[in-house]
Structure 1
Amino acid sequence: MIPLSKPYITQTEIDTVIDVLKSDRLSMGKYTELFEKEISKIAKTKYSIVVNSGTSALHLILKSLGIQQGDYMIVPSFTFVASANVALFEKATPIFVDIDPKTYNVDPNALEDLLKKIEQGRMHISGQRVRIDKVRFFMPVDVFGQPVDYDAVEPIVCKWNLKMIEDSCEALGSEYKGKPCGSFGEAGAFAFYPNKQITTGEGGIIVTDNEEIARMCKSMRNQGRGEDEAWLNHVRLGYNYRIDELSAALGYAQLTHLEDILYKRDNVAKRYSQMLSEYDWVEPPYIANYATKIGWFVYVIKLDEKINRDRIIDYMSSHGVQVRNYFSPVHLQPFYKQLFGYTEGMLPVTEKISKSTLAIPFYTTMTIQEQQTVVEILKEAVERVG
């Protein structure tokens, strides 16, 4: 089986983790601090606060910005469900915006149209009219490592006085016009699940230039302790969102060869695009001209609408190649439909794209031979069952 993804682990990572195991500090030790400092250098932000998942990072950012019951947060539906769930954690409501058909990121025109619709009183959720003064947050997602067009969305954010939180959980190493993803808006977040550019096993991090956000997030990740982190002294509601020292050490070791990882993943992506270019039934990932660097997370292709994507998945899986649909729209997830009455037809571009996108095997150490096998099995699947 050629897996969909696998982490890139070298002897450096193994030695660094063993170093932690030989120490007497398995939580909040030197590697936690070192990892945070290195991520700040990459994101070019003043502060980094490492936590146990990307979801936790996004939640703490929203919490530090004062999200509360009755608020609304605009977010794309073409994303991992956590991007929207974090609003629900605080009894706020996600409002979904449609995407650009090429980049799969937030469509600035759709964002502007959505806000005008809300202002005019033409948007209802769960039978209640959405008030424009309650639309306080906007969470763009740098999907698959492709940066959002920030020059296009930032004037809209300013016009409507929205607080922008950048979900860069899939975009470590990506740049928008030379500026690192994660450094736009009030704060950003990266995630380090095993299929990401680098991994901590489970983990995420908040990056920001805002001292108050950093202070609040650092406290809340550690059960609401004060700045001195005194034992059993809790100054606010907090959570156990700490990362363990083993995970932080793994992440720190990964960062020592981040550029090599990004270089190798970029080569894998380029080889795929070249291999697939001869077929008219598939579209390789589109890279916008403002994306000056892509930190490749996954490699997602778009199949011709006439092809039965589910049969392709079954065929390739049964022939030793693991593939997945990426993404299923969040607004059509069963519990979102039940909670808010969301239905098909709300987001036509999102719904159309999601029926045709397919993630094929992609990882740092992938060989040309493995890629050739993937493409051959994909071609065979399209010819036989597509």
Structure 2
Amino acid sequence: MTKRFSVQQVVDALRVVLPAKAEQVPLHEPVFAGNEWLYVKECLDTGWVSSVGRYVDRFEQMLREYTGVKHAVAVVNGTAALHICLKLVDVQPGDEVLVPALTFVATANAVHYCGAVPHFVDSSLETLGLDPGKLEAYLREIVDVRPDGCWNKETGRRIKAVVPMHTFGHPVDLDALVDVCQRYRLELVEDAAESLGSYYKGRHTGNWGRVSALSFNGNKIVTTGGGGAILTNDESLGKLAKHLTTTAKVPHAWAFWHDQVGYNYRLPNINAALGCAQLENLPTFVERKRSLLHAYQAAFAGVEGVQIFREPSFAKSNYWLHTLLLDEEYADFRDELLEAANSAGIQARPAWTLMHRLPMYAQCPRMDLSVAEQLERRIVNIPSSANLEANHGEA
């Protein structure tokens, strides 16, 4: 029997899961159901609202305890966190940094802030993130590995680092990527902006990179309004991260002495207070999102031409954004589906425009990106808020 694809059938399946009376169902909205009001009010009552205060310290401690990473430095947003991560591993102007073409623009922008050049690499159908096997085969052809690093034979530039992004919360194959980094003398910097609450082989993301970056934007699983964090298991880098993000000011009771160019990137206490309350509920948020997966799977069980993306076998994902994957033969229906869903009050969106298609990055080096280009045509993100949990049990 020939498969048939119906946009209306997909929209109807979404309606089965989503609140029937809601005029608009957002793609992802924060849930404030804990101590947010209490903690933020304390900041207002005491006047401790800026970048010094007990909630900043507590937020960093909670991040360390939850992720198992030894050092956490809270900053103003995820892009700032990634920028400092690249500085910490000594990315220099003119270096190349390997980043997925399928990512949010901040990943490439952070490279550009360092004066470095994004070098775009392909994705995996299994993870939606960077493909270590395809990357290794590509590097084997284009680089020279020398005592002073990895050098691109085609451009003459040093390739300093690789930045995998855990797409929609799904971890990339980190063991395989670590092997590639060791073989080609590359620094590993995890863009874990979307993967707070996600685990690779039982260990939280952010533990494989020499440094890693988190985001707490308003649409993330945990939010501080804005906000981000730098994670590292390297004590010296943890101290340097805090120093650089505090304008490189040498501690003193009254004197203003800065020993290098620093950045005013520290997270305000009032934002950290919000984050502390959110982190208290993170396990519940993850459980609800994984329960929402079951509801979507049941609703789409009989829908032809589309599938709900599932975490790779080696991972436990936070399912930050639930993802529909259209069959390749029906990829041309993507925009019609987006129009129909949004017209029905169901916010849905495509994947990001691939980085090499953006005007400022069109001339950057890149490998064959056929999988990323395929995924760009096929991905539709659907409502994923933790308050949509439907009590269908644990995934």
TM-score, normalization: structure 2?
0.86
| Aligned residue in 2 for 1:314 | 339
- Distance, in Å, in 1 between the alignment partners of 2:301 and 2:66 is 33
- The yes-or-no answer on 1:323 pairing with 2:322 is no
Where 2:243 maps in the other structure, the secondary structure is helix
The alpha carbon displacement at 1:196 in A equals: 1.0
- Distance, in Å, in 2 between the alignment partners of 1:270 and 1:254 is 24
Is this contact kept in 1: 2:136–2:180, CA < 8 A? yes
Is this contact kept in 2: 1:81–1:330, CA < 8 A? yes
| Aligned residue in 1 for 2:307 | 283
| Aligned residue in 2 for 1:294 | 317
Counterpart of 1:232, as a letter, is F
The alpha carbon displacement at 1:268 in A equals: 1.0
Is this contact kept in 1: 2:118–2:364, CA < 8 A? no
Counterpart of 1:109, as a letter, is G
| Aligned residue in 1 for 2:384 | 362
Gaps of 5+ in 2: 1-23, 146-152
The alpha carbon displacement at 1:266 in A equals: 1.1
Instruction: Give the alignment's Cα RMSD to 1 decimal.
Output: 2.2
- The yes-or-no answer on 1:54 pairing with 2:54 is no
Where 1:321 maps in the other structure, the secondary structure is coil
Describe how 1:233-382 pairs up with structure 2 within 5 A: 233-291=257-315, 293-305=316-328, 306=330, 307-337=332-362, 339-340=363-364, 346-366=368-388, 368=390
The alpha carbon displacement at 1:59 in A equals: 0.5
CA deviation profile, 1:206-247 (whole Å, cap 9, x unmatched): 111112211221112111212558652111111111211111
The alpha carbon displacement at 1:280 in A equals: 2.3
CA shift in 2, pair 1:36/1:271, >3 Å: same
- Distance, in Å, in 1 between the alignment partners of 2:222 and 2:241 is 23
The alpha carbon displacement at 1:329 in A equals: 0.9
Gaps of 5+ in 1: 122-127, 372-386
Is this contact kept in 2: 1:215–1:227, CA < 8 A? no
- The yes-or-no answer on 1:211 pairing with 2:246 is no
Counterpart of 1:331, as a letter, is H
The alpha carbon displacement at 1:267 in A equals: 0.7
- The yes-or-no answer on 1:5 pairing with 2:28 is yes
- Distance, in Å, in 2 between the alignment partners of 1:11 and 1:166 is 30
CA shift in 2, pair 1:230/1:261, >3 Å: farther
Is this contact kept in 2: 1:61–1:213, CA < 8 A? no
| Aligned residue in 2 for 1:41 | 65
Counterpart of 1:274, as a letter, is A
Is this contact kept in 2: 1:119–1:131, CA < 8 A? no
| Aligned residue in 2 for 1:381 | none
| Aligned residue in 2 for 1:75 | 99
- Distance, in Å, in 1 between the alignment partners of 2:144 and 2:207 is 32
The alpha carbon displacement at 1:11 in A equals: 4.6
Describe how 1:156-235 pairs up with structure 2 within 5 A: 156-227=180-251, 231-235=255-259
Counterpart of 2:342, as a letter, is S
The alpha carbon displacement at 1:49 in A equals: 0.2
Where 2:188 maps in the other structure, the secondary structure is strand
Is this contact kept in 2: 1:197–1:296, CA < 8 A? no
Where 1:95 maps in the other structure, the secondary structure is strand
- Distance, in Å, in 1 between the alignment partners of 2:251 and 2:139 is 39
Where 1:129 maps in the other structure, the secondary structure is coil
Is this contact kept in 1: 2:120–2:364, CA < 8 A? no
Is this contact kept in 2: 1:118–1:131, CA < 8 A? no
The alpha carbon displacement at 1:74 in A equals: 0.7
The alpha carbon displacement at 1:78 in A equals: 0.8
- The yes-or-no answer on 1:26 pairing with 2:20 is no
Is this contact kept in 2: 1:219–1:227, CA < 8 A? no
- Distance, in Å, in 2 between the alignment partners of 1:89 and 1:249 is 29
CA shift in 2, pair 1:164/1:223, >3 Å: same
| Aligned residue in 2 for 1:380 | none
108-117 vs 250-259, greater mean Cα deviation: 108-117
Where 2:125 maps in the other structure, the secondary structure is coil
Is this contact kept in 1: 2:34–2:278, CA < 8 A? no
| Aligned residue in 2 for 1:112 | 136
- Distance, in Å, in 1 between the alignment partners of 2:167 and 2:252 is 37
Where 1:207 maps in the other structure, the secondary structure is strand
Counterpart of 2:78, as a letter, is G
Counterpart of 2:376, as a letter, is S
- Structure 1 runs (4+) deviating above 6 angstroms are none
Counterpart of 1:178, as a letter, is G
CA shift in 2, pair 1:59/1:304, >3 Å: same
CA shift in 2, pair 1:62/1:317, >3 Å: same
227-236 vs 351-360, greater mean Cα deviation: 227-236
The alpha carbon displacement at 1:114 in A equals: 2.0
| Aligned residue in 1 for 2:126 | 102
Counterpart of 2:38, as a letter, is D
The alpha carbon displacement at 1:192 in A equals: 0.7
TM-score, normalization: structure 1?
0.88
CA shift in 2, pair 1:322/1:231, >3 Å: farther
The alpha carbon displacement at 1:144 in A equals: 1.0
- State the structure with bigger RCO (CA 8 A, min sep 6), 1 or 2: 2
Matched-pair identity in %: 31
Where 1:232 maps in the other structure, the secondary structure is coil
